[in-house]
């Protein structure tokens, strides 16, 4: 199961249900995918094909939606 947290500007932000407990979000785009840590700070964890400008856009969107992502994480992984 990989619930979508939100979509914006051609990106899908989502979680994998059975993965490590450290807070992070996955990002999917037509050109590739990436994983971003949210703790201890927002940072790229892995990149599979996204261009630098796409990574920047994805990170900007994560920063804009950080509270929403954290809330969705707690809700999804609490039970």
Total number of domains in the chain: 1
The predicted structure's pLDDT at residue 10:
97
Q: How many helices (H) and strands (E) does the chain have?
A: 2, 5
pLDDT tens by residue, 29-56: 999 999 999 999 999 999 999 999 999 9
Question: 14 φ, ψ to 5°?
Answer: -155, 170
Percent of the chain surpassing pLDDT 70: 97
Q: Which domain holds residue 49?
A: 4-77
pLDDT of residue 19: 80
């Amino acid at each position: 199961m990989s619930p979508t947290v939100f979509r914006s500007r051609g990106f899908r932000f989502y979680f994998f249900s059975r993965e490590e407990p450290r807070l992070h979000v996955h990002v999917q785009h037509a050109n590739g995918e990436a994983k971003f840590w949210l703790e201890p700070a927002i940072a790229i964890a892995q990149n599979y094909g996204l261009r630098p400008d796409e990574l920047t856009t994805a990170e900007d969107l994560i920063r804009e939606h950080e509270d929403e992502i954290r809330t969705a994480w707690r809700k999804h992984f609490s039970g």
